[in-house]
């Protein structure tokens, strides 16, 4: 199959143990939606922290490097149908080209940026549940303190004779 941007044959390659196609001219990737989801939701290796921060910064500023012809519509390398441009998920700043039948095209750098974006989103969710657990434990400790206070107040009342 040919690269939808360069029209040169793509080379089979492994990306995090998945068999995907890569264009050796523009370094874009062609893969199935399942492969993409699985790559994004398994953390195979850790990114360099500096690189990660730089990409997150670029994403927040909306200036992730994109090819000059990024705005142009491209065709599915399998069926030649025009692919749909859409964010990977709602509120995701990374736009991917997708053929709903055959797969997703990611320009150079986009796959890595997506991995970092999803990793950060998952991290946020985990951080939230950590907080929820802490609040639960504080609630439980407060309940114990309240019980003790009740007991103490009753005790004082009894001692003073007004209970």
User: Tokens 């964010």 identify what position?
Assistant: 87
User: Tokens 């053929």 identify what position?
Assistant: 99
| Beta strands per DSSP E along the chain | 11-15, 18-22, 29-31, 84-87, 95-99, 103-106
- Residue 116 near residue 39 (C-beta atoms within 8 A): no
9 binds Zn ion (CB under 5 A): no
- Whose Cβ is closer to Zn ion: residue 27's or residue 155's? 27
Q: List the Cα angle 111/7/21 in 5-degree steps.
A: 40
- Whose Cβ is closer to Zn ion: residue 64's or residue 118's? 64
Q: Which of 13, 17, 25, 126 binds Zn ion (CB under 5 A)?
A: 25
- Whose Cβ is closer to Zn ion: residue 52's or residue 75's? 75
Residue span 100-129 as binding mask against Zn ion, x where in contact by CB under 5 A, dash where not: -xx---------------------------
Q: Which of 99, 106, 111, 118 binds Zn ion (CB under 5 A)?
A: 99
Residue span 26-45 as binding mask against Zn ion, x where in contact by CB under 5 A, dash where not: x-------------------
Integer Cα distance of 161 and 158 in angstroms = 5
Contacting Zn ion within 71-90 (CB under 5 A): 76, 78-79, 81
Integer Cα distance of 90 and 15 in angstroms = 25
List contacts with Zn ion (CB under 5 A): 3, 5-6, 23, 25-26, 76, 78-79, 81, 99, 101-102
């Amino acid at each position: 199959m040919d690269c939808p941007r360069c029209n040169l044959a793509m080379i089979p390659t492994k990306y995090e143990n998945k068999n995907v196609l890569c264009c050796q001219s523009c370094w874009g990737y062609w893969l199935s939606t399942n492969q993409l989801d699985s790559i994004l939701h398994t953390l195979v290796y850790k990114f360099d922290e500096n690189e990660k921060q730089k990409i997150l910064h670029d994403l927040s500023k909306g200036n992730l490097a994109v090819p000059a012809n990024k705005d142009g519509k491209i065709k599915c390398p399998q069926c030649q149908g025009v692919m749909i441009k859409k964010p990977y998920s709602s509120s995701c700043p990374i736009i991917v080209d997708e053929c709903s039948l055959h797969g997703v095209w990611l320009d150079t750098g986009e796959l890595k940026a997506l991995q970092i974006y999803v990793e950060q989103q998952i991290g946020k969710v985990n951080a939230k549940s950590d907080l929820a657990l802490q609040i639960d434990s504080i609630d439980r400790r407060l309940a114990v303190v309240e019980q003790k206070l009740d007991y103490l107040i009753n005790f004082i009342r009894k001692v003073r004779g007004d209970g």
